[in-house]
Amino acid sequence: MAYIASEPKLPVGEGSVFTAILQSGLSDVEAIIVYRGTQVFVILNAFPYATGHLLVMPYREIAELEELEVDEAAEMWSTVTDAVRAAKTAYQPGGLNVGINLGKPSGGSVSEHLHVHVVPRWWAMATS
């Protein structure tokens, strides 16, 4: 809640919220960036579906999966695998969702900046 209530000041301009965060000058801690690679980074979702909801994305703002350069794609999928491994270790979830929403109709709220969701999941077993 503190992060949401703080309303970090992001530069006004063109581009996605992720591009604005990258250009903001905020520290990685302030921006909740948990990993920076050569071509991709990982950020905690500010409005998560579940605890530990990570977003893996290229620095370059592109909308479509097929727009990834070969080296970006390789690093992105390697980083998604590392994010899954980290989420399993840190949260010990019952399962994970890994997915991409492509285009506005898919439910993607930031469809202009390709990102992969890594979402730990749990369910409560009913006991009798």
Pick from 72, 63, 65, 45: nearest CA to 111: 63
> 58: burial class by Cβ within 10 Å (0-12, 13-18, 19+)?
buried
The pLDDT of residue 50 is above 50: yes
- So what's the pLDDT on residue 49? 81
Q: Cα–Cα distance between 55 and 66 in angstroms, integer?
A: 18
DSSP assignments along 83-100, one per residue:
HHHHHHHHH--SEEEEE-
Tokens encoding 69: 């350069």
pLDDT, one tens digit per residue, over 82-93 is 999 999 999 999
What is the average per-residue pLDDT within 31-50? Answer: 94
- The pLDDT of residue 47 is 84
Q: What domains sit in the chain, N to C, each tagged with a CATH number? A: 2-121 (3.30.428.10)
Give me the helices (H) in the chain, please. Answer: 2-6, 17-23, 28-31, 70-91
Identify the pLDDT of residue 125. 57
Which residue did the predictor score with more confidence, 114 or 7? 114
Residues with active-site annotation: 115
**Cα separation of 25 and 10, whole Å?**
9
Flag the least confident range among 1-15, 49-63, 74-88, 114-128.
Answer: 1-15
Please state the pTM of the whole predicted model. Answer: 0.84
Higher pLDDT, 63 or 8: 63
